[in-house]
């Protein structure tokens, strides 16, 4: 079977294979256990739906009998990946990275069989590199080649600073492929340059260069930038079912096709049918399919029904969290505390007319609110709380 047949519907998430698709087919036809590498820099506490795309392809290769090599970039995270950056990425401390790693492994476990996978830290080999070894590795790339990279080229043209350690990032990430003797490397299209460096270093080390499988980057719920927790436009794979469904419905209409193809398991024929129909129906079906994959069909059905009841029929949620409050309290303090918002966020919501108490819109951030108990506080379209008097 071709690589597309072997990956099934997941093949639609692949944007490019290089050197070429024939190379991947020939590699898979060798009928041997291949080493399929995916490197992840653990820069946050959340594994997003975007991060999940290459993880699912890695899991598929594992199901096909190949060795899944998951590299946790504890060393490279401290260096900071310049991919797609118009400025230097902030560097994390070892303690921050260790905290992030614990949460990542918990979230990844339902997606990838970690007991059968080869889970490695690239500090295993990168910390052991001597100065002369690092100089020899650096000798495999030129400054001109580095400046061909889009993010570096833009910064150089704009006279923005490029630090030497950012050049080194590409080299040390590429060296990961040498260290684990990768046959295939997975990554997003933003990793094209780094993965190509891996091929260059494998040739230098006398290894057969890996075949690279690049996935389309899933844009965030804001509809513009790559999905990222730091940008506030992400959906986490452990986001509660209610919020996962709601966040998915906030995706701009022009991104519905992207989410249907990249973030759901819906058959191609079903995706095509939805794209020819009502965009709002397609969006709700996409949100349901995404929620079902993580929480089951029954949970997805319940969240869709609740969503339609609250937003289409303009009714209150059936399941509302209670918030205990002492009065008197200013409206800003109440909204801020009830929904864990910053003072600025709470104030803006109020001034924009997004806050109501028992259906009555309140617009004065400094107004004192007296609560007798049982009132429903609403902030924006999705936040509700039933107020109770604190003891």
- The CATH number for 295's domain is 1.10.240.10
The pLDDT confidence band at residue 82, using thresholds 50, 70 and 90, is low
Residue 89 lies in a domain: yes
Q: Which DSSP state fits 12? A: G
Residues 39 and 103 in one domain: yes
Average pLDDT of span 135-159 = 87
CATH of the domain at 373: 3.10.290.10
Q: Is residue 136 part of a domain?
A: yes
330 and 297 within one domain: no
Q: What is the pLDDT of residues 280-330, one digit of tens each?
A: 999 999 999 999 999 999 999 999 998 888 776 556 666 667 888 877 789
The answer to the question of residue 97 being in a domain is yes
Domain shared by 252 and 191, yes or no: no
User: Does 194 lie in the same domain as 84?
Assistant: yes
Of 22-31, 84-93, 381-390, give the lowest mean pLDDT range: 84-93
Q: What is the pLDDT of residue 114?
A: 96
Helix H or strand E encompassing 1: none
Which CA distances in Å does 242 have to 117, 206, 328? 31, 52, 32
pLDDT digits (tens, 9 = 90+) for 255-268: 999 999 999 999 99
Do 308 and 330 lie in one domain? The reply is no
What residues contact residue 374 under an 8 Å CB cut-off, 6+ apart?
Answer: 386, 387, 388
The CATH number given to whatever domain includes residue 65 is: 3.40.50.620
Q: Which pLDDT does position 226 carry in this prediction? A: 86
**Which residue, 215, 248, 267, sits at the end of a domain?**
215
- Model confidence over 29-56: pLDDT tens digits? 998 999 999 999 888 888 999 999 999 9
DSSP assignment of 83-138 equals: TT-SSPPPPPPHHHHHHHHHHHHHHHTTTS-TTTSEEEETHHHHTT--HHHHHHHH
pLDDT of residue 348: 87
Kindly state the average pLDDT of the residues 68-82.
85
- 318 burial class (0-12, 13-18, 19+ CB within 10 angstroms)? exposed
Residue at 220 is within a domain: no
Q: Which two tokens stand for residue 37?
A: 């590498």
Q: Are strands 322-325 and 67-72 parallel, antiparallel or unpaired?
A: unpaired
- 259 shares a domain with 184: no
Q: What pLDDT is attached to residue 179? A: 97
Considering the domain architecture, whether residues 192 and 268 belong to the same structural domain is answered as no
Contact 351, 344 (CB under 8 A): no
Choosing from 252, 281, 312, the residue where a domain stops is 312
Contact of 174 with 161, CB cutoff 8 Å: no
Same domain, 328 and 299: no
Answer whether residue 98 is part of any domain: yes
Residues 47 and 103 in one domain: yes
Structure pTM?
Answer: 0.78
Q: Which residue has the tokens 């094209």?
A: 192
Distance CA(217)–CA(167), nearest Å, equals 23
The helix/strand/coil state of 383 is: strand
Q: Is residue 229 part of a domain?
A: no
Query: Is 232 contained in some domain?
Result: no
Question: CA 236 to CA 264: how far, in whole Å?
Answer: 14
Number of domains making up the chain: 3
Judge if 280 and 246 occupy the same domain: yes
State the residue range of the domain holding 359. Answer: 322-389
Kindly tell me if the per-residue pLDDT of 197 is higher than 60: yes
Q: Which two tokens stand for residue 375?
A: 């009132």
Cα 204 from Cα 146, distance rounded (Å): 17
CA distance 319 to 385: 10
Q: Specify whether the backbone of 176 is left (phi greater than 0), alpha (psi in -120 to 50) or beta.
A: alpha
User: Is the model's pLDDT at 369 over the cut of 60?
Assistant: yes
| Average pLDDT of the residues in 47-67 | 97
Residue with the bigger pLDDT between 1 and 224: it is 1
CA gap 383, 391 in Å, rounded: 24
Boundary of a domain, candidates 176, 200, 215: 215
What pLDDT is recorded for position 84? Answer: 52
Residues 136, 160, single domain; the answer is yes
Residue 121 has φ and ψ, to the nearest 5°, of: -110, 135
Q: Kindly report the average pLDDT of the chain as a whole number.
A: 89
Give the position of tokens 């990249």. Answer: 262
Domain assignment of residue 277, yes or no = yes
Together in a domain, 181 and 32: yes
């Amino acid at each position: 079977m071709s690589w597309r047949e072997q990956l099934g519907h997941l093949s639609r998430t692949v944007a490019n294979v290089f050197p070429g698709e024939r190379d991947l087919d020939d590699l898979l036809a060798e009928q041997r256990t291949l080493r399929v590498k995916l490197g992840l820099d653990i820069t946050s506490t959340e594994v997003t739906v975007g991060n999940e795309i290459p993880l699912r392809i890695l899991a598929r290769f594992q199901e096909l009998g190949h060795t899944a090599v998951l590299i946790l970039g504890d060393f490279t995270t401290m260096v900071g990946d310049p991919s797609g950056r118009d400025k230097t990425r902030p560097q994390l401390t070892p303690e921050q990275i260790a905290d992030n790693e614990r949460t990542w492994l918990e979230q990844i476990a339902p997606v990838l069989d970690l007991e059968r996978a080869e889970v490695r830290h690239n500090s295993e080999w990168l910390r052991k590199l001597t100065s002369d070894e690092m100089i020899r590795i650096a000798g495999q790339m030129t400054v001109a080649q580095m400046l061909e990279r889009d993010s570096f080229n833009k910064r150089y043209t704009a006279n923005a600073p490029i630090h030497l350690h950012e050049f080194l990032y590409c080299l040390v990430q590429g060296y990961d492929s040498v260290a684990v003797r990768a046959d295939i490397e997975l990554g997003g299209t933003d990793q094209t340059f780094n993965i190509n460096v891996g091929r260059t270093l494998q040739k230098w080390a006398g290894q057969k260069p890996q075949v690279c499988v690049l996935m389309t980057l899933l844009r965030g719920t804001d509809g513009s930038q790559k999905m990222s927790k730091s940008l506030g436009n992400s959906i986490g794979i452990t986001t509660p079912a209610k919020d996962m469904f709601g966040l998915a419905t906030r995706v701009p209409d022009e991104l519905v096709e992207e989410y249907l193809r990249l973030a759901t398991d819906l058959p191609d024929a079903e995706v095509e049918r939805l794209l020819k129909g009502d965009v709002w129906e397609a969006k709700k079906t996409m949100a349901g399919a995404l929620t079902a994959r993580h929480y089951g069909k029954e949970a997805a059905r319940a969240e869709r029904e609740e969503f339609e009841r609250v937003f289409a029929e303009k009714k209150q949620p059936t399941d509302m969290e209670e918030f205990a409050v002492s009065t008197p309290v200013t409206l800003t303090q109440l909204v801020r505390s009830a929904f864990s918002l910053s003072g600025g966020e709470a104030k803006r919501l109020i001034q924009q007319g997004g806050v109501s108490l028992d259906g009555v819109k309140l617009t004065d951030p400094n107004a004192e609110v007296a609560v007798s108990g049982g009132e429903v506080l609403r902030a924006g379209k999705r936040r509700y709380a039933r107020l109770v008097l604190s003891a």
